[in-house]
Amino acid sequence: MITNRNTQPTIKEIAKRLKIAPSTVSRALHDHPSISWVTTMRVQKLAQELNYEPNLSAISFKQRKSFNIGVLLPNLSEVFFSTALYGIEDMASTKKYNVLIGQSLDDPQREERILLSMKNSRVDGMIVSVGKNTINYDHFDLLQKCNIPIVFFDCIPERKDIHFTACNLQIGMLMAINKLVEKGITNIALINGPKQLVASKQRQQIYFQGLKKNNLPYDEKLIGFTDLSKKGNQQAMIDLLKLENRPTAIITFNDYLALDAIAIAKEQNLVINKDIFFISFANLPIWEYMDDRPMASIEQFPYKQGEQAAKILFSLIDSLQNDQPIMDYQQIIFESKLIATLQ
């Protein structure tokens, strides 16, 4: 049987014991200059003895700050996101903040529900990576109206008036195409994600630029699309392999798509990294265990993206706290990097 009234010491408790006012105790605990050395010491000593811990609920109520930030992202089982979360957590813990987590599972309704629930629990700010099916951004605007700053990362809405961190895929993609061309491979396809995604548009544009820089022809047929479901992935790959001039290299929207595409290629008895080559985005740690894997991945630095998104968020929170107007939108863009995954 376990029962015991929770009786954490409070400032009043300390004040009563030392026969001084609570306000004096409060100031002493904060090393306020107007409190004498002796009093400060007496207070701090007793606080230590009693294991005093300030009641964060009371403080957050009084200060109108919760010392929580919310993180909303599609899916923590994707290593990309769980890595980003490390970055956020690490930055938050240096600022003595806690992290509330919500997974949207790419479901816009769930996304909205989580967002509102975090708003109501008065998070001081949010870090968001938008789900791939989200088209309506009203609930994000709602949070802004409530003075809850939002910083997006990686999957960001296609708008100018937001704070975000993201990764510029350009260099990675160029290096990838260069690498293929060096090997004499010029028939390069792209399987892209849903057309409404910023990430998709970006990939397509950069893919196009990469071809151009290498003086390769642009063939619309070599661009496939998928909704990123397993079936969609497979179908897109099947369609590409049916082409008259079958591609010998395929750039895939992400690693999970690459897995499906590679599986289809193998079913059709193509030898990976001989008959056909793959280049993917992100960089699953699991690749090293697989024989048939992309020849390279474009690294997008999730830890840094998360960490810096949190940094931006805390600067916004501080500005709001000090009633400073936020003058412009903070946007950090990292450069991607091509990582060879073979050998």
Partner DNA sequence: GCAATTTATGCAACCGTTTGCACAATTTAC
Partner DNA sequence: GTAAATTGTGCAAACGGTTGCATAAATTGC
Return the SS3 of 127.
strand
Closest to DNA by CB, 120 or 245: 120
Closest to a second copy by CB, 10 or 39: 10
How do 188-192 and 223-225 pair as beta strands? parallel
- Written as six digits, the tokens of 128 are 């968001």
> By CB under 8 A, is residue 271 in contact with a second copy?
no
Sheet of 296-299: strands edge to edge? 223-225, 188-192, 249-252, 277-281, 296-299, 337-340
Greatest CA separation for the chain: 90
* Integer Cα distance of 280 and 269 in angstroms: 21
Q: Which residues contact 14 (CB under 8 A, 6 or more apart)?
A: 25, 43, 46, 47, 50, 52
* Residues between 19 and 38 that touch DNA (CB under 7 A): 19-24, 26-27, 29-30, 33-38
Q: Minimum distance from CB of 58 to a second copy (Å)?
A: 5
Rg (CA), the chain: 26
In the list DNA, a second copy, none, the entry touching 77 (Cβ below 5 to 8 angstroms by class) is: a second copy
> By CB under 8 A, is residue 93 in contact with a second copy?
yes
Among 48-56, 143-151, 285-293, 325-333, which window interacts with DNA (CB under 7 A)? 48-56
> By CB under 8 A, is residue 99 in contact with a second copy?
yes
Closest to DNA by CB, 38 or 135: 38
> By CB under 8 A, is residue 291 in contact with a second copy?
yes
Q: What angle do CA 252, 254, 259 make, to 5 degrees?
A: 80
In the list a second copy, DNA, none, the entry touching 24 (Cβ below 5 to 8 angstroms by class) is: DNA
> By CB under 8 A, is residue 120 in contact with a second copy?
yes
- DSSP alpha helix (H) spans, 170-301: 170-182, 198-213, 230-242, 255-267
Instruction: Give me the residues that bind a second copy (CB under 8 A), please.
Output: 1-6, 8, 53-58, 60-61, 64, 66-68, 75-77, 79, 82-83, 85-86, 89, 93, 96, 98-103, 113-114, 117-122, 144-147, 259-260, 262-263, 285-286, 289-292, 323, 325-327
